[in-house]
Chain A
């Protein structure tokens, strides 16, 4: 069965420190992986995606994510956190482009960056 796990409800990081938001997945076929961010009182915004190619994907606002097939993970990272990065982050996976457009979503991780 398809699933996405974000094991941490909340991550606290000091400003300037590197941050990691974890995501693991389970799919039957090839995964297509996404990260989205939601700022307070706003809808989701796309950050980055992995479809194929390099395992390290760079996205918006200085974020990047590394696809690790053996560990079935797609952790979101940023070398130096900003207070403005504080938001809710969602990981999502899709298993099959052709016949199933459905995204499977993680529960979300609240990222708090403290000055």
Chain B
């Protein structure tokens, strides 16, 4: 079945550095990818919606300059956390959506998540 991968699965970095998280759809082309953030004991928060070849649409309260999203191809989206700080420590999840040719069937697959710890 369709698989969405995320790399790395876990990353520890120093405060002030930037971290890039990749989200790949392994056997299908994703028309849209979503990036979510999850704090401990809380639900997912949608950060942004990314369509291939266009700028990401960010949710209210999400800093565009801090969370850079690039969706360069139909199988790859990246989230870069710039100048990371300890409060950015969280669990980041991507999902990839594909739509059938007749546009009647929409399917979404989730990545396993990336745990970011900023020291």
Contact = CB atoms under 8 A, between A and B. Distances in A.
Given A34-B43, A44-B95, A46-B43, A101 B115 contact: yes
Interface string A76-115: 0000000000001010000001000111010010000000
B113 A44 contact: no
Interface in B61-119: 91, 93, 95, 106-108, 110, 112-113, 115
B15 interface: no
27 contacts: A34-B43, A34-B44, A36-B44, A38-B108, A40-B106, A42-B49, A43-B49, A43-B95, A44-B44, A44-B46, A44-B95, A45-B46, A46-B43, A51-B41, A88-B108, A97-B40, A97-B41, A101-B38, A101-B91, A101-B115, A102-B91, A102-B112, A103-B44, A103-B93, A103-B113, A108-B107, A108-B108
Interface of A: 34, 36, 38, 40, 42-46, 49, 51, 88, 90, 97, 101-103, 105, 108
Contacts, number: 44
Contacts of A103: 38, 44, 93, 110, 113
Contacts of B91: 101-102
A96 B110 CA distance: 19
B40 A44 contact: no
A44 B36 contact: yes
A49 B108 CA distance: 21
B16 to A, nearest CB: 24
A36 B36 CA distance: 12
Contacts of A51: 41
A46 B106 CA distance: 19
A90 B59 CA distance: 21
B108 to A, nearest CB: 6
A88 B107 CA distance: 9
A83 B108 CA distance: 22
